[in-house]
């Protein structure tokens, strides 16, 4: 005969209001095999847990049922309490009489009856529970960081400083991300390159960090502690081991009129190029779509149309025949830090949900630029050498109108959220403009100024009070091209007047969106995205840098719009999570996994086909002489997520989930 203890919790009023907990305890106490039953106001509290432990010791219990909230909430708590009283943790289970009962019913009588039935079912299950022990899996103590913006760089450095190896994968030819394009940064106006470049170099030279630039994640398999990641190393057409970054090839390339991505189209680059002078690694790449030689080859020309760069290179580093290669890395954890892109106001949008701004000419008016373009104009290393000049005619604009919330907070354009950083960088832009064009006038159309952050409000006020920016609260209905100027038709809601400003230039603070391709990457990693494509964190408040897939973490603007301080804080948070994981040699996992009875398995492999996680493998059974007897299914304990699909599928009932066997489940159902 079993000796089960049943402990019924009131959860303050949460359960006690609708369920008569004392009656539940009494009814359960009368069941055969129940040696102890009691109720208490807060079972999860210290005294409550003490009651559980005491009952185990005094009543010599061999099983515990806690009738309380959801096991998702407190199963761990009570199993730990039982274990500390010397009982196998898996002999303790919870009956959910809160979410499944008291919260959703009104009648006290009915709810009490249902609570009794639920607890009774779990008692029958626990009678059939077997002691289990956690599964131990060795951990590959190396991390993969995807994306080499400030978030990825910070995470990589922190993990490497913590003594663990890092593989940093960046899809562009250089790391640095958007921060490398910024001029000066709010709220302190320190030069972005000056604070970023040393970190880029540090990451590159760190013995613990292996940088795979111009590379992308091809596929991911495995599970926490044991991921296997295949990385595509895109062909640079330049041998990294030979190139010394002298730049002769760029000078020799005749094809120098290609709009530079780094300069946001405001500057030009050659077909063989380094995106910017401080690039890390400082190794050029040939843009094959624009290179004369590759275009010739694509057209089927027999003779190479150009090979100026190869001729100019003193180290024979240019290699036109380089192909994409693949490397596989084994890692125990992954940090996703793929950052953002800016929403485009153009007519063509990447999804039906998004709409462009027809009222602003769908971005066809030259001198209507976006924030990153303004950063390049203001940057000392930018296409104008740090002079604010309009793209159309190179003249200095005397009046600039900045428009906030472009795309953001505009459900009609498909983006409801606030992009968070633009209020601040617009304030910064007005200051940078005033510092460079002393008689320039900056107007800002805004909805609200959101400057919540340390020193942020003070910074935004400075733009108005000391730098003379004119803030107008309202939206702009139309941008109209008239001669050399842009007529900005807006409405000042504070004075209640329509406004028309003849601007020389207009800067749009466009919304931050996740990087293109994020959804495909998320799928490879089995993490989820929100409706906009930002990576979902495991819990918005309590687990902000974890994802729903164990071992995959998130940092920076790929999770939501983030500024640099936020991105760096998240990155350090993710890194410390990774280091915490890596502080163990082995990983403990719940033993709720499927186990195949190899003697009975007929080798039909239905389970292999239905398993959503690919956890079922094939195993050969041989006799002593090595003769193959049969092939059976076996479950990889590291991969199995305990969903039970195989158990439901097996025609001969030879695979069962530990802790959820057919016998246990049927006994519970019969007791309802």
Ligand X SMILES: Cc1cc2nc3c(=O)[nH]c(=O)nc-3n(C[C@H](O)[C@H](O)[C@H](O)COP(=O)(O)OP(=O)(O)OC[C@H]3O[C@@H](n4cnc5c(N)ncnc54)[C@H](O)[C@@H]3O)c2cc1C
Backbone angles phi, psi at 211, to 5 degrees: -90, 125
Which two three-digit tokens encode residue 70? Answer: 């959801």
Report if residue 49 touches ligand SF4, rule: CB under 6 A: no
- Which of 245, 358, 517, 603 forms a contact with another protein (CB under 8 A)? 358
Instruction: Please pick, from the candidates 103, 320, 362, 613, the single residue that binds another protein as defined by CB under 8 A.
Output: 362
Least distance in angstroms from the C-beta of 481 to ligand X: 24
Whether residue 612 is preceded by a cis peptide bond, meaning omega within 30 degrees of 0, is no
Closer of 317 and 554 to ligand SF4 (Cβ)? 317
Angle at alpha carbon of residue 436, lines to 432 and 441, rounded to 5°? 75
Q: Does 343 bind another protein (CB under 8 A)?
A: no
What angle do helix axes 371-378 and 422-436 make, rounded to 10 degrees? 30
Which of the listed partners (ligand X, another protein, ligand SF4, none) does 396 bind, with a CB threshold of 5 to 8 Å by partner kind?
none
- Residue 415's CB is within 10 A of a number of other CB atoms, namely 23
The contact pattern for another protein, residues 260-279, with x = CB under 8 A and - = no contact, is: --------------------
Q: Which of 73, 195, 365, 447 binds ligand SF4 (CB under 6 A)?
A: 447
Among ligand SF4, another protein, ligand X, none, what does residue 255 contact (CB within 5–8 Å per kind)?
ligand SF4
Residue nearer to ligand SF4 on the CB measure, 89 or 272? 272
Nearer to another protein, 188 or 482 (CB): 482
* Residue 482 binding another protein, by CB under 8 A: yes
| 405 is a site residue for ligand SF4 (CB under 6 A) | yes
Nearest distance in Å: CB 324, ligand X: 14
**Residue 405 contact, options ligand X, another protein, ligand SF4, none, Cβ 5-8 Å cut-off depending on partner type:** ligand SF4
Residues 636, 239: Cα–Cα separation, whole Å: 41
Please report whether residue 292 would count as binding ligand SF4 according to CB under 6 A: yes
Least separation in angstroms between residue 577's CB and ligand SF4 is 28
For the record, the structure tokens of 610 come out as 């239905």
Do residues 53 and 23 lie in contact, with contact meaning Cβ atoms separated by under 8 Å? no
Q: Report the candidate in 416, 419, 412, 423 with the shortest Cα–Cα distance to residue 447.
A: 423
Residues 6+ apart with CB under 8 A from 64: 4, 5, 6, 7, 52, 55, 56, 78, 82, 87, 91, 92, 93, 126
Kindly state whether residue 357 participates in binding another protein, applying the rule CB under 8 A. Answer: yes
Q: Which stretches of 535-657 are DSSP H helices?
A: 564-582, 606-610, 645-649
Q: 63 contacts which partner out of ligand X, another protein, ligand SF4, none, CB within 5 to 8 A by kind?
A: none
Taking CB within 5 to 8 Å according to partner kind, which of another protein, ligand SF4, ligand X, none is near residue 478? another protein
For residue 371, cis peptide bond before it (omega within 30 degrees of 0): no
CA distance 478 to 499: 11
Min dist CB 418 to ligand X, Å, is: 14
Asked if 437 and 388 count as a contact pair (C-beta separation under 8 A), the reply is: yes
User: Which residue number, 412 or 629, has a Cβ lying nearer to another protein?
Assistant: 412
Residue 372 binds which entry of another protein, ligand SF4, ligand X, none, with Cβ cut-offs from 5 to 8 Å by kind? ligand X
Question: What contacts 495, CB < 8 A, 6 or more positions away?
Answer: none
| Spatial CA neighbour of 54 closest among 24, 31, 82, 29 | 82
Is residue 322 at the binding interface for ligand SF4, with CB under 6 A as the rule?
no
Angle between helices 21-29 and 108-127 (to 10 degrees): 40
| Sole residue written with tokens 């390159």 | 193
**Residue 362 site contact among ligand SF4, another protein, ligand X, none (CB < 5 to 8 Å, cut-off depends on kind):** another protein
Q: How far apart are CA 213 and CA 169, in angstroms?
A: 6
Q: Are strands 340-342 and 333-336 parallel, antiparallel or unpaired?
A: unpaired
Question: In the bound complex, what is the minimum distance in angstroms from residue 506's beta carbon to ligand X?
Answer: 14
| 306 is an interface residue for ligand SF4 by CB under 6 A | yes
d(CA 162, CA 143): 12
Q: What residues line the site for ligand X (CB under 6 A)?
A: 146-152, 169-172, 177-179, 182, 185-186, 216, 337-340, 342, 371-372, 375, 421, 425, 428, 515, 517, 521, 556-557, 562-565, 567
Q: With contact defined as beta carbons under 8 Å apart, do 340 and 561 qualify?
A: yes
Nearer to ligand X, 168 or 472 (CB): 168
Question: Which of the choices ligand SF4, ligand X, another protein, none does residue 515 contact, using the CB cut-off of 5 to 8 A by kind?
Answer: ligand X
Q: Select from 129, 408, 547, 567 the one that contacts ligand SF4 (CB under 6 A).
A: 408
What token pair was written down for 81?
């309490």
Name the residue nearer to ligand X (CB basis): 150 or 220. 150
- Give 216-248 as a 3 state SS string: EEEEEEEECCEEEEEEEECCCCECCCCCCCCCH
Tokens 């002769």 correspond to 248
Buried-state track 640-667, b at ≥16 Cβ within 10 A, e below 16: bbbbbbbbeebeeebbbbbbbbeebbeb
* CA 499/CA 510 separation, integer angstroms: 22
Two tokens, residue 465 = 């009070």
332 contact choice in another protein, ligand SF4, ligand X, none (CB below 5 to 8 Å, kind-dependent): none
Q: Interface with another protein includes 228 (CB under 8 A)?
A: no
Using rule CB under 8 A, residue 245 touches another protein: no
Q: C-beta of 368: minimal distance to another protein in Å?
A: 13
Taking the complex as a whole, the smallest distance from the CB of residue 452 to ligand SF4 amounts, in Å, to 10
Give which of another protein, ligand X, ligand SF4, none residue 481 binds (C-beta under 5 to 8 Å, depending on kind): another protein
Given 80, 108, 481, 619, the residue binding another protein (CB under 8 A): 481
Task: Tell me how far apart the alpha carbons of residues 460 and 13 are, in angstroms, rounded to a whole number.
Answer: 47
Contact flags string 398-437 toward another protein, x per CB under 8 A: --------------x-------------------------
* Nearest approach, Cβ of residue 250 and ligand SF4 (Å): 8
Q: Single out the residue of 3, 206, 230, 478 in contact with another protein (rule: CB under 8 A).
A: 478
Stretch that binds ligand SF4, among 38-46, 51-59, 194-202, 252-260 (CB under 6 A): 252-260
| Closer residue to ligand SF4, CB minimum distance, 135 or 447 | 447
Question: Which of residues 36, 125, 450, 577 is near ligand SF4 by CB under 6 A?
Answer: 450
Q: Which helix (H) or strand (E) holds 252?
A: helix 248-252
Q: Residue 23 class from Cβ within 10 Å (0-12 exposed, 13-18 middle, 19+ buried)?
A: middle
Helix (H/G/I), strand (E/B), else coil: 473: strand
Stretch that binds another protein, among 28-36, 125-133, 355-363, 620-628 (CB under 8 A): 355-363
Residue 146: which H helix or E strand, with range? Answer: strand 142-146
Q: Which residues bind another protein (CB under 8 A)?
A: 347, 357-359, 361-362, 412, 478, 480-482, 487
Q: Which residues bind ligand SF4 (CB under 6 A)?
A: 252-253, 255, 270-272, 286, 291-293, 306-309, 404-405, 408-409, 418-420, 422-423, 447-448, 450, 509
């Amino acid at each position: 005969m079993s000796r089960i203890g049943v402990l019924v919790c009131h959860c303050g009023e949460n359960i006690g209001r609708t369920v008569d907990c004392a009656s539940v305890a009494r009814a359960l106490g009368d069941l055969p095999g129940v040696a102890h039953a009691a109720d208490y106001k807060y079972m999860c509290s210290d005294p409550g847990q003490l009651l559980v432990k005491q009952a185990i010791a005094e009543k010599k219990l061999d099983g515990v049922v806690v009738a309380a909230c959801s096991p998702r909430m407190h199963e761990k708590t009570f199993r730990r309490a039982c274990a500390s009283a010397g009982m196998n943790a898996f002999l303790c289970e919870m009956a959910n009489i809160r979410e499944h009962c008291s919260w959703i019913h009104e009648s006290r009588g009915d709810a009490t009856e249902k609570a009794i039935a639920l607890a009774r079912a779990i008692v029958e299950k626990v009678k059939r529970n077997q002691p289990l022990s956690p599964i131990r899996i060795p951990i590959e103590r190396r991390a993969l960081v995807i994306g080499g913006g400030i978030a990825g760089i910070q995470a990589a450095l922190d993990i490497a400083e913590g003594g663990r190896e890092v593989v940093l994968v960046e899809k562009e030819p250089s790391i640095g991300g958007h921060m490398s394009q910024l001029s000066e940064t709010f709220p302190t106006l320190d030069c972005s390159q000056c604070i970023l470049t040393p970190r880029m170099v540090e990451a590159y030279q760190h013995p613990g960090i292996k940088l795979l630039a111009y590379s992308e994640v091809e596929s991911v398999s495995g599970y926490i502690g044991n991921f296997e990641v295949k990385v595509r190393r895109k062909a640079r057409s330049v041998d990294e081991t030979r190139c010394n970054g002298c730049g002769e090839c760029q000078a020799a390339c005749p094809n120098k009129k290609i709009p530079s991505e780094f300069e946001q189209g405001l500057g030009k680059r050659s077909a063989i190029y380094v995106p910017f002078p401080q690039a890390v690694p400082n190794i050029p790449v040939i843009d094959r779509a624009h290179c004369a030689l590759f275009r010739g080859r694509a057209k089927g020309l027999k003779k190479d149309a150009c090979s100026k760069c190869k001729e100019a290179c003193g180290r024979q580093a240019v290699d036109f025949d380089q192909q994409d290669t693949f490397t596989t890395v084994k890692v125990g954890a992954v940090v996703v830090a793929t950052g953002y892109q800016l929403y485009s106001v153009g007519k063509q949008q990447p999804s039906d949900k998004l709409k462009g701004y027809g009222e602003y000419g769908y971005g066809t008016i030259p001198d209507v630029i976006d924030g990153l373009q303004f950063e390049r104009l203001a940057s000392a290393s930018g296409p104008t050498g740090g002079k604010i000049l309009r793209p159309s005619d190179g003249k200095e604009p005397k009046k600039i109108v900045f428009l906030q919330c472009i795309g953001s907070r505009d459900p009609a354009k498909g983006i409801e959220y606030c992009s968070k950083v633009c209020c601040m960088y617009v304030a910064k832009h007005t200051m940078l403009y005033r510092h460079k064009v002393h008689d320039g006038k900056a107007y800002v159309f805004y909805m609200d100024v959101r400057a919540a952050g340390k020193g942020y409000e003070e910074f935004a006020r400075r733009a108005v009070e000391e730098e003379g920016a004119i803030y107008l609260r309202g939206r702009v209905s139309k941008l109209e091209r008239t001669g050399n100027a842009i007529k900005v038709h807006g409405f000042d809601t504070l004075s209640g007047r329509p406004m028309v400003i003849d601007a020389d230039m207009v800067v749009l603070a466009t919304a931050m969106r996740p990087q293109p391709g994020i959804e495909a990457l998320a799928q490879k990693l089995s993490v989820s995205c929100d409706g906009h494509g930002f990576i979902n964190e495991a819990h918005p408040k309590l687990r902000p840098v974890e994802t729903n897939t164990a071992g995959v973490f998130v940092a920076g603007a790929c999770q939501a719009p983030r500024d640099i301080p936020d991105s760096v804080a998240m990155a350090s948070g993710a890194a410390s999570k990774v280091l915490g994981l890596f502080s163990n040699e082995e990983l403990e996992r719940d033993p709720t996994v499927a186990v195949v009875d190899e003697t009975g398995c007929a080798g039909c492999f239905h389970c292999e086909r239905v398993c959503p996680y690919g956890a079922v493998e094939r195993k050969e059974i041989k006799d002593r002489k090595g003769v193959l007897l049969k092939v059976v299914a076996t479950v990889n304990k590291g991969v199995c997520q305990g969903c039970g699909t195989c158990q439901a599928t097996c025609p001969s009932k030879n695979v069962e989930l530990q802790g959820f066997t057919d016998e246990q489940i049927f006994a519970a159902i019969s007791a309802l």
